[in-house]
Amino acid sequence: MTSTVLDVTVLLLCVSASVVVLGGVDVDPGSPERTAADAADRLTTETATVSYAVGGEDGKRRSVHATLVELLVAAANVETDADATAARFRSMALETVGDALGARTRVDVRRPIRSVNRTATTPSDDEIGGERVTADERVAGVADEATTLASVGSPPPRDADVSVTVVRHPTSVARAESEPLRVVVRVW
């Protein structure tokens, strides 16, 4: 009996260790095998600290530590005509997220204008806001009318195979519409 309990305990420890090791494997941001789901996973789990100057030249600084998606949403909620401190935060947050995700990744934070359940009936390309939108993006809800609040990275080339996923994230800014923001992640 004692031998069986010991064997089961050792087995459970080995399984736990392998789960931790496999769970810690990350896909390199520059890897061609990386997908939008990999980038979205990184956005929602990886944390970073943004440090920015406050006010005048007295050397005061603030730091914000959050997940990449939280930093992105916070930066998206900074008004375009905000004061210099808020503008510095927005700039640093967008730069930090862009650096963490690497090349071949485009992330757009969008606020839906209206909710539309669309499905793609034919695989066609359309133009939404000057960018190509594929049937996969239409199914993912990317093609719904929305206002883009912030973007990180360059748009994918027209001839690239694009992987798309959408992360919905609540906003901390009180507005009449209560829909969460859509963080559209595209990787090619």
Dihedral (C-alpha) 26, 27, 28, 31: value to the nearest 10 degrees? 170
Structure tokens at 79: 């008004």
Q: What are the pLDDT tens digits along the chain (188 aa)?
A: 555 655 555 555 555 544 444 444 455 555 667 899 999 999 999 999 999 988 766 778 999 999 999 999 999 999 877 788 999 999 999 999 999 999 999 999 998 875 444 444 433 444 444 455 555 555 444 555 678 999 999 999 999 999 999 999 886 655 555 578 999 999 99
With a CB cutoff of 8 Å and minimum separation 6, the contacts of 137 are 143, 162, 164, 184, 186
CA 49 to chain centroid, in Å, comes to 16
Enter the pTM of the model.
Answer: 0.67
